[in-house]
């Protein structure tokens, strides 16, 4: 029996199962401390499963390849992509990843591991923040909310810059908040280091949540002396000092070489791009990469990106807004203003991507935990109903995904995690001796983590089998073909270069010279094959791959019955000498 059929069977017999669970619950007492340990352990298991999923094209593969070229070249102040000068993201993430390559070798786990560690440390800072301003249990709940938010989990499987930004955002906010209340200089130094790391990861705009959280709080509380204090000049100076490696790297790679062509023009300043053009260009839609803004994009994006806590997050924002408008006392407002200002700026931007919200998830998690811990019984009942409806929809979505997508049996560990997670969630849901807020926490966490274990263990590995850029590298390594003879034609092969640990020269049909295609292994499209034939270069087939852009999913592709319609053939051929 296929797993999806089994799940449908369970749903059809849910009444009998629920009655059985009620009977079991009368005889079993589950320790709350044990459940806390289990959910945190399961979180780590889910993150660990994501470490082994293929690096996805194109964005994550770019990060992995740039880091590899930094590591291999030993030029830590220069950024190259496919052997060419690359001016887009700054240095910090590439340095960290390159250092991990040095420890563990150039591989997928070494690429993703520092990102996972960053999010775990971010959860620790979230706990510290919640504990300082609310209570220790609040901190634990907030940390768990952050770790189990859907896009936090996804971004540690499909690694980009966001895990690092998540850490440094909450780290900077925590230390500046502690500094303002204690005036201990060490916290100002830590904040300066975190702000510098933020900017060295993705540019100047990344510090907005911290600056807005602190600035708006001081304005709201009318602390004029704090606003005009010399401490901010010192903090800025500290951040600049910590940023010197990146500033100097850009200066010596680009500013000293105005003859270099970047974005189709010369005399490009790396420092100016880093500080101004990169971030402002995306916000104003004037940069090399453009988008189309939707003011409600992040409103509906949050509904799935912050699952299963989206409704709780909206409730928390409404409650905090009401409290501030009514001038009620709240323990802190850094998180509220930091999140709200960044959310509004992103909503006004013309360039919007779902993962942009990730760095402010710790702030939202802290507010959501506070709202949950202080919610009235009536509010808890409403939230529980909405949370329960969300869980049912998630289970239906899981069943449909397994039924339409899954064509093979699940691994035994996946079955065990799904069964254990769902069973424990069911036991806790019907437990009469558990407080409502505990049910609101544990049940969605167990369901979400179980589903994400399935995604990381079954769904994404199957999905990435159709990513030909990595599949061709696996085939090349299995067959032990010569790495110095492979080229790509009309294909951007970042993950191919990463997995082969060598730059695969990218060639294009409108620019390629015949000699570049002779006596090579060419990874290409149907159009590329036609060009090879038109140049009268002999070729013989080596292998054919079924390709799909796996980060742009469609219903037709997800349905195994219609998947073939969406697949594009890609080819690896061996060429000889050109016929004269």
Rounded to two decimals, what is the model's pTM? 0.91
For 442-453, the pLDDT digits (tens) are 999 999 999 999
Q: How far apart are the first and last CA of the chain?
A: 60
* pLDDT, mean of residues 30-53: 90
Q: Please tell me the predicted confidence (pLDDT) of residue 278.
A: 75
- Distance between CA 400 and CA 402 in Å, rounded? 5
* pLDDT, mean of residues 167-188: 96
- Per-residue pLDDT band for 11 (boundaries 50, 70, 90) equals low
For 450-464, the pLDDT digits (tens) are 999 999 999 999 999
For 206-231, the pLDDT digits (tens) are 999 999 999 999 999 999 988 888 99
- Distance between CA 511 and CA 450 in Å, rounded? 49
Residues 6+ apart with CB under 8 A from 35: 424, 428, 442
Q: Please tell me the predicted confidence (pLDDT) of residue 444.
A: 93
pLDDT at 573 over 50: yes
Q: Please tell me the predicted confidence (pLDDT) of residue 243.
A: 95
Q: Please tell me the predicted confidence (pLDDT) of residue 287.
A: 54
pLDDT at 29 over 70: no
The torsion angles phi and psi of 496, rounded to 5 degrees, stand at -65, -45
pLDDT at 6 over 70: no
pLDDT at 579 over 70: no
For 281-317, the pLDDT digits (tens) are 666 655 555 556 677 777 888 888 999 999 999 999 9
Task: Give the closest residue to 432 by CA, choosing from 13, 26, 11.
Answer: 26
Q: Which residues of 180-204 are buried (b: 16+ CB within 10 A; e: fewer)?
A: beeeeeebbbbbbbbbbbbbbbbbe
**Cβ atoms of residues 269 and 258 within 8 Å:** no
**Cβ atoms of residues 217 and 340 within 8 Å:** no
Q: How is the chain split into domains, by residue range?
A: 3-30+375-464, 58-121+162-332+341-365, 468-575
Q: Please tell me the predicted confidence (pLDDT) of residue 466.
A: 95
Percent of the chain with pLDDT over 70: 90
> What long-range pairs does 277-282 form, CB within 8 A, spacing at least 24?
278/88, 278/203, 279/202, 279/203, 279/204, 279/205, 279/206, 280/205, 282/349, 282/350, 282/351
Secondary structure of 336-371 in the HEC alphabet? HHHHHHHHHHHHHCCCCCHHHHHHHHHHHHHHHHHH
Q: Please tell me the predicted confidence (pLDDT) of residue 367.
A: 97
Q: Which of 17-26, 71-80, 389-398, 513-522 has the lowest mean pLDDT?
A: 17-26
- Per-residue pLDDT band for 366 (boundaries 50, 70, 90) equals very high
- Distance between CA 33 and CA 49 in Å, rounded? 25
pLDDT at 472 over 90: yes
Task: Give the closest residue to 217 by CA, choosing from 131, 112, 324.
Answer: 324
**Cβ atoms of residues 171 and 126 within 8 Å:** no
Q: Which residues of 381-402 are buried (b: 16+ CB within 10 A; e: fewer)?
A: eebbeebeebbeebbeebbebb
Q: Please tell me the predicted confidence (pLDDT) of residue 338.
A: 96
Q: Which of 25-29, 279-283, 432-436 has the lowest mean pLDDT?
A: 25-29
Peptide bond into 308 cis (omega under 30): yes
Q: What is the mean pLDDT of the chain?
A: 89
Structure tokens at 243: 């940023």
Q: Please tell me the predicted confidence (pLDDT) of residue 140.
A: 95
Structure tokens at 37: 């340990």
- Distance between CA 149 and CA 145 in Å, rounded? 6
- Distance between CA 547 and CA 337 in Å, rounded? 44
8-state DSSP, 105: -
Kindly give the pairing relationship between strand 486-489 and strand 84-85.
unpaired
- Distance between CA 257 and CA 168 in Å, rounded? 32
Residue that has been written with the tokens 């802190």 in this structure: 332
Percent of the chain with pLDDT over 90: 69
The torsion angles phi and psi of 539, rounded to 5 degrees, stand at -145, 155
Q: Please indicate whether residue 429 or residue 566 has the higher confidence score (pLDDT).
A: 566
pLDDT at 78 over 70: yes
CA distances from 224 to 174, 215, 326, 334, 493 (A): 21, 10, 22, 16, 54
pLDDT at 26 over 70: no
pLDDT at 16 over 70: no
pLDDT at 343 over 80: yes
Task: Give the closest residue to 25 by CA, choosing from 420, 391, 425.
Answer: 425
- Distance between CA 520 and CA 485 in Å, rounded? 5
What's the chain's Rg over C-alpha atoms?
Answer: 26
- Per-residue pLDDT band for 1 (boundaries 50, 70, 90) equals very low
For 488-536, the pLDDT digits (tens) are 999 988 999 999 999 999 999 888 899 999 999 999 999 999 999 999 9
* pLDDT, mean of residues 231-257: 94
**Cβ atoms of residues 434 and 25 within 8 Å:** no
- Per-residue pLDDT band for 570 (boundaries 50, 70, 90) equals very high
Secondary structure of 143-197 in the HEC alphabet? HHHHHHCHHHHHHCCCCCCHHHHHHHHHHHHHHHHHHHHHCCHHHHHHHHHHHHH
Q: Please tell me the predicted confidence (pLDDT) of residue 461.
A: 95
pLDDT at 159 over 50: yes
pLDDT at 105 over 50: yes
Q: Which of 97-111, 236-250, 270-284, 496-510 has the lowest mean pLDDT?
A: 270-284
- Distance between CA 333 and CA 543 in Å, rounded? 59
């Amino acid at each position: 029996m296929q797993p999806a059929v089994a799940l449908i069977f369970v749903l059809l017999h849910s009444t009998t199962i629920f009655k059985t669970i009620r009977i079991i619950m009368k005889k079993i007492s589950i320790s709350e401390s044990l459940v806390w340990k289990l959910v945190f352990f399961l979180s780590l298991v889910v993150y660990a499963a994501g470490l082994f999923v293929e690096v996805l094209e194109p964005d994550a593969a770019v990060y992995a390849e740039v880091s590899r070229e930094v590591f291999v070249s030993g030029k830590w102040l220069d950024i190259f992509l496919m052997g060419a000068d690359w001016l887009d993201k700054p240095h910090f993430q590439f340095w960290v990843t390159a250092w991990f390559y040095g420890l563990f070798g150039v591989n997928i786990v070494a690429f993703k591991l520092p990102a996972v560690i960053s999010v775990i440390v971010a959860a620790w800072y979230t706990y510290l923040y919640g504990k300082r301003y609310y209570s220790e249990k609040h901190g634990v709940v907030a940390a768990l909310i952050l770790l189990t938010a859907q896009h936090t989990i996804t971004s540690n499987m499909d690694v980009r810059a966001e895990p690092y930004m998540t850490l440094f955002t909450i780290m900077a906010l925590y230390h500046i908040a502690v500094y303002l209340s204690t005036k201990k200089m060490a916290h100002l130094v830590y904040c300066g280091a975190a702000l510098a790391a933020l900017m060295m990861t993705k540019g100047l705009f990344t510090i907005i949540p911290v600056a807005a959280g602190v600035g708006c709080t001081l304005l709201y509380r009318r602390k004029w002396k704090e606003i005009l204090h010399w401490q901010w000049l010192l903090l800025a100076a500290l951040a600049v000092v910590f940023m010197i490696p990146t500033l100097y790297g850009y200066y010596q790679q680009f500013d000293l070489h105005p003859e270099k062509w970047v974005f189709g023009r010369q005399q490009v300043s790396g420092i100016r791009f880093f500080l101004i053009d990169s971030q402002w260009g995306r916000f104003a839609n004037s940069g090399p990469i453009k988008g189309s803004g939707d003011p409600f994009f992040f409103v509906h994006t949050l509904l799935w990106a912050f699952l299963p806590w989206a409704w709780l997050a909206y409730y928390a924002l409404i409650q905090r807004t009401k409290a501030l408008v009514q001038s009620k006392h709240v323990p802190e407002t850094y998180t509220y203003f930091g999140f709200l200002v960044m959310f509004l700026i992103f909503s006004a931007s013309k360039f919007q991507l779902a993962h942009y919200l990730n760095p402010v998830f710790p702030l939202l998690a802290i507010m959501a935990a506070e709202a949950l811990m202080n919610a009235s019984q009536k509010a808890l009942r409403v939230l529980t109903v909405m949370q329960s409806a969300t869980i049912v929809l998630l289970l239906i979505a899981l069943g449909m995904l397994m039924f339409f997508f899954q064509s093979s049996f699940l691994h035994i560990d996946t079955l065990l995690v799904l069964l254990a997670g769902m069973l424990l969630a069911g036991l806790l849901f019907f437990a009469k001796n558990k407080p409502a807020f505990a049910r609101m926490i544990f049940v969605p966490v167990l369901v979400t983590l179980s589903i994400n274990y399935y995604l990381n263990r079954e769904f994404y590995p199957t999905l990435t089998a159709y990513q030909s850029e990595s599949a061709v590298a696996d085939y090349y390594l299995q067959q032990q073909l010569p790495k110095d003879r492979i080229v790509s034609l009309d294909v951007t092969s970042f993950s191919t270069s990463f997995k082969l640990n060598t730059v695969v020269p990218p060639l294009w049909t409108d620019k390629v010279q015949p000699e570049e295609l002779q006596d090579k292994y060419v990874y290409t499209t149907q159009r590329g094959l036609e060009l090879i034939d038109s140049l009268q270069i002999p070729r013989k087939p080596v292998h054919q791959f079924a390709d799909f852009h796996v980060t742009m999913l469609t219903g037709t592709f997800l349905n195994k019955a219609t998947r073939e319609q969406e697949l594009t053939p890609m080819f690896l051929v061996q060429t000889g000498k050109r016929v004269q």
